[in-house]
Amino acid sequence: MLQSASNQLILDAYNANPSSMQAAIRNFIGIKSDKKMAILGDMLELGEESHAEHEAIVQLLIQSGIEQVVLVGPDFVKASKAEFPVFRDAETAREWLLEKGFKGYDILLKGSRGIKMEKVLDAL
């Protein structure tokens, strides 16, 4: 848990796989908050199951009721079908987040280490 100048952050940017991503999203859904945002990076090293697993996460997010969702990484680009803002890399997502200037959110930040989700921290 981190507190930035503008938002409360749950930072879990070290590892991501389908079960940990689903658990993090479900736990985040249960947190009482007026404004929620999930910024999620690709789950790496899933092999042939990658596309299906990323699509499953997108479907969970659609059903979640989380107010704002941002997806990062080439696998989410393929799976998102324009449901949410999606960016090929964390640096591009960072630029967009800086431009939007989100404030007052509880934010779940999760992704595999290789996606380098910590690059967006200063934009939050």
The per-residue pLDDT for 31 is 94
The per-residue pLDDT for 42 is 96
Tens digit of pLDDT for each residue in 69-92? 999 999 999 998 778 999 999 999
Its pTM stands at: 0.94
Does residue 107 contact residue 39 with C-beta atoms inside 8 Å? yes
DSSP-derived 3-state class of residue 12: strand
Q: Where are the domains of the chain?
A: 2-123
Taking domain 2-123, whether its CATH number is 3.40.1160.10 is answered by no
d(C-alpha 67, C-alpha 115), whole Å: 23
In this prediction, residue 14 has a pLDDT band, given cuts at 50, 70 and 90, of confident
d(C-alpha 52, C-alpha 10), whole Å: 26
Tens digit of pLDDT for each residue in 45-73? 899 999 999 999 999 999 999 999 999 99
d(C-alpha 95, C-alpha 124), whole Å: 11
Amino acid at position 107, single letter: I
Strand 68-72 and strand 36-41: the pairing is: parallel
In this prediction, residue 94 has a pLDDT band, given cuts at 50, 70 and 90, of very high
